[in-house]
Amino acid sequence: MEEKPFPAWSWPVDQCLKEYQVKLEKGLSTYQVEKRRERYGLNELEKEKGKPLWRLVLEQFDDMLVKILLGAAFISFVRAYLYQDETGDSWFEAYVEPLVILLILILNAIVGVWQESNAEKALEALKEMQGESAKVFRDGYLVPDLPARELVPGDIVELRVGDKVPADMRVATLKSSTLRVEQSSLTGESMPVTKSTDFLAADDCELQAKENMVFAGTTIVNGSCICIVVNTGMCTEIGNIQKQIHDASLEESDTPLKKKLDEFGNRLTTAIGTVCLVVWAANYKYFLSWEVVDGWPSNVRFSFEKCTYYFKIAVTLAVAAIPEGLPAVITTCLALGTKKMAQKNAIVRKLPSVETLGCTTVICSDKTGTLTTNQMSVSEFFTLGGKTTACRIFGVQGTTYDPKDGGILDWNCYNMDANLLLLAEICAICNDAGVFCDGRLFKATGLPTEAALKVLVEKMGVPDSKARSKIRDAQIVSSYLIDRNTFKLGCCDWWMKRSKRVATLEFDRVRKSMGVIVREPNGSNRLLVKGAVESLLERSTYVQLTDGSTVPIDESCRQLLLLRHLEMSSKGLRCLGLAYKDDLGELSGYYAETHPAHKKLLDPSCYSSIESDLVFVGVVGLRDPPREEVHKAVNDCRRAGIKIMVITGDNKSTAEAVCREIQLFSDGENLKGSSFTGKEFMALSSEQQIEIVAKDGGKVFSRAEPSHKQDIVRMLKEMGEVVAMTGDGVNDAPALKLADVGIAMGITGTEVAKEASDMVLADDNFNTIVSAVAEGRSIYNNMKAFIRYMISSNVGEVISIFLTAVLGIPECLIPVQLLWVNLVTDGPPATALGFNPADVDIMQKPPRKSNDALISSWVFFRYMVIGSYVGIATVGIFIVWYTQASFLGINIVSDGHTLVELSQLRNWGECSAWTNFTVSPFKAGNRLITFSDPCEYFTVGKVKAMTLSLSVLVAIEMFNSLNALSEDNSLIKMPPWRNPWLLVAMSVSFGLHSLILYVPFLADIFGIVPLSLNEWLLVILLSAPVILIDEVLKFVGRRRRQRTKLKAA
């Protein structure tokens, strides 16, 4: 039975120490450590066993099309082995067909194995997040750098600013007045979280609520503390995420395209098997005969030679029916798609996800870092005007830590008034953060809110005109430097030199503020304070006006300030109040730790009294702003019929405010039924959950834990939705792995998220997803075009062989020729169809359903009509060459070949019994075809007729590729030059066909001869009508659809 973990967060520190049998000042003994290591193991994440190479290789053959090709290769190999001597073929000629098929399959397997072996790196990236060492108390001594992997539950660990937390731990004591932890990558919270030692009443509470716990992989950004290790290794929250990533990888389902191709493969297998059997059985009279005596068959005669000959025809039929080039063309098309997407900043890690994006119906997006910039910025601030009843509000533009990104609206305050001067001074000096540039991205050190305040100071400027021009010149010079990392906050530096900081009153949860004592240029001390607006207003007795005068704060003024604060909060802004105090009593002359009043600063309980009778200056509103492009992307998704669901670890009000701002919800919209916390949603019944997510419109799930994200993604998939999940944090990784398409942020995303994803956004731009969806839809349409082209060509080949068998005439196409057509001649046009331009309205149509048929009944009918023409033309020219002197006014017998009756051609197997049957030699290129036996005219002599059949097949398929440019539009509306690559590909295919015709060595391998100009003219005349036939079918299809729309209307 699994041991239930101890809920350390819900017990006082003394009880936790008792549970782990440890003392804070001594730590565990060596004996205790050894016993616990035996029980809990090392503090590291387990490495999942990868699949062995042999299994990876075998899995590449677990595909219906591949199995069909394997079967075809095996039968071809057996046939070549059995009949090589009989046919007199060289070794190469006999085995070229099975060898080519096997080569295709081996290449396919190599690509697949390489792709899979590179896919499972998310777990390694997780390991890198764990701390490497820790300061630990053992046997009464402090071990300064114990390897983190050696920690066990019960260890006493000291954490300081900048430390990476090595295990899940209960905070025991604070060594500073405040402790803040950056845990956004684990929980999705946009702000560092303040931690305390107080226990929580609830045994079962969400991760974000565990304010007395620090978690492995997070970072201490402010303060220091002593903690008790409660969970290590796989039992930590990061360990749970690893398990979830692994479980999600086991749940990975086939992509919509793979499902369709497998379904298509199954149908193809059935169809091929049936047709082959019918063709073989239909010719039974040629190899099996009997007489009926007294109602019973007797004198049964069986010709093994003829039986195997017709079996060979059946195998030829199978080779014709299988689109050998299809897997290669699909891979090429997807690879082209990845290249196009990379140009649009979407880096695809797994090929099939290119197409899956095209049928995405739901985008589940993280908020922090995906819809927003994950960079705090000041949005607006206000101060009082010339009287207590008037406020001045300033709007601030810019969404990053770059001081040059935006500015203050209508800002003309270089001669700043007293209020604005104090606001700038407080923001610059009552601040421990910094901003640096790492090449192209500005980043914060310390608290993001404080970094945003420093950026505001840079946008405000300084009152000293000389200093202002000096700072501006320095900024201009720095913009030309090669080393962009050299970056200074000139305005903040000016304030800090002007007013020297002499003491700090650290933030704590009781007074909710931070203060600093500074020495002003006049030599007096001043207290600068920033903190929660309500808390500062309670401790303020005065307000400052624009002229620098201070007046007592009355109730109407207090209500005005609170009303402005409420307005800012309702916009999703995080508000900070700013205040100061000049009369510091015994701290007025404070200068250093040697001052008598220093004792007062050592006692945090005195801070509230020091920060009383304040003068209130103003309020600054900050936020993690939405990305500029998100609003347009949301509207594009709405038009494209794609639902957006925001799943975030942040709090409910912030999430709702951001969703309103990006217009996922309208301003006045009631969010009942559209906005839930993770816990609220999971508490509903499964029927209610399904009903909520099935409704149209946006949804937002806040305070969501990793398991909630997974459950929502899983539920959507079970409902038949195709889910794209975006995210950047460790907490997003399991859901990214589970989703049909996992999309990670490239700049702000963690390595864990990137490795678990199918696609990475190089620019972290939500709009890139919409571009990628459009590209995915375009790729699917193009894939349908080349599948339509290849299958209609293959149907033509099947019908030609079927007609050959039914009519009893000699084979007009041999397997090696069919293989050449399917692989080489068809390949370039099919690949070029992948370059078809996207439809103009591609993002104004709803996503296709994942269960929509790849081949509809109408498209299948079109295949059959086109295929029938291909088959009739291919067999027809073979018969015409043997039986007609001229056709369509073209002389065919100029080469001197002998004409025969159709009945003779159909019974050519009985040639040896014919009397007075003679044939003349005929010319084929520079070759004279002669016969030792007249019956060879139907085997050796069919070389010219076979060449004509092959050439007609190739020419028709080239013309048919033009038909595939559009499923419905005429060539008049979609002319061939819209896709110049197709014209190039057709030229390449004709060139390759000419190569095997006119190079003697190749002509011998493929059993063909050169054609004359007259014969080429006949080939073109018989091939071109395929365009006219499909134009008529497209016209009928358009009319049918119009009638359907009219009926529906």
The CA-based angle 292-298-304, given to 5 degrees, is 115
Do 382 and 392 touch, CB atoms closer than 8 A? yes
Do 643 and 694 touch, CB atoms closer than 8 A? no
Can you tell me the distance from the alpha carbon of 721 to that of 723, in angstroms, rounded to the nearest whole number? Answer: 6
β-pairing, 614-623 vs 377-384, is antiparallel
What is the end-to-end Cα distance of the chain in Å, rounded? 63
Return the DSSP state at 625. P
The CA-based angle 93-96-101, given to 5 degrees, is 160
Spatial CA neighbour of 674 closest among 649, 651, 650, 655:
655
Can you tell me the distance from the alpha carbon of 595 to that of 608, in angstroms, rounded to the nearest whole number? Answer: 20
Q: What is 34-101 written as a DSSP string?
A: HHHHHHH--SSPPPPPPPPHHHHHHHTT-SHHHHHHHHHHHHHHHHHHHHHHHHT--HHHHHHHHHHH
- Tokens linked to 621: 């509103």
SS3 1010: coil
Residues 6 or more apart in contact with residue 693 via CB below 8 angstroms: 645, 699, 712, 715, 716, 719
Residue 86, judged by CB atoms within 10 A of its CB (0-12, 13-18, 19+), counts as: exposed
Count Cα neighbours of 21 within 13 Å in the Cβ-side half-sphere: 7
Can you tell me the distance from the alpha carbon of 267 to that of 110, in angstroms, rounded to the nearest whole number? Answer: 27
For residue 250, give Cα distances in angstroms to 244, 259, 737: 10, 17, 10
Can you tell me the distance from the alpha carbon of 507 to that of 177, in angstroms, rounded to the nearest whole number? Answer: 7
Can you tell me the distance from the alpha carbon of 902 to that of 775, in angstroms, rounded to the nearest whole number? Answer: 53
SS3 990: helix
The residues pairing with 927 across neighbouring beta strands, listed in sequence order, are 924
Do 95 and 80 touch, CB atoms closer than 8 A? yes
- Tokens linked to 749: 């995303």
For 541, phi then psi, to 5°, come to -115, -10
Can you tell me the distance from the alpha carbon of 44 to that of 752, in angstroms, rounded to the nearest whole number? Answer: 16
Residue 585, judged by CB atoms within 10 A of its CB (0-12, 13-18, 19+), counts as: exposed
The residues pairing with 761 across neighbouring beta strands, listed in sequence order, are 346, 745
Give the DSSP H/E element, type plus range, for residue 551.
strand 550-552
Alpha helices in 810-886 (DSSP H): 815-820, 827-832, 857-883
For residue 520, give Cα distances in angstroms to 189, 285, 319, 426, 738: 38, 114, 91, 12, 58
Spatial CA neighbour of 514 closest among 620, 622, 610, 613:
610
Count Cα neighbours of 341 within 13 Å in the Cβ-side half-sphere: 35
What torsion do the CA atoms of 943, 945, 950, 954 make, to the nearest 10 degrees? 140
Do 333 and 779 touch, CB atoms closer than 8 A? yes
Neighbours of 571 (CB within 10 A): 14
Q: Which residues are marked as active site?
A: 366
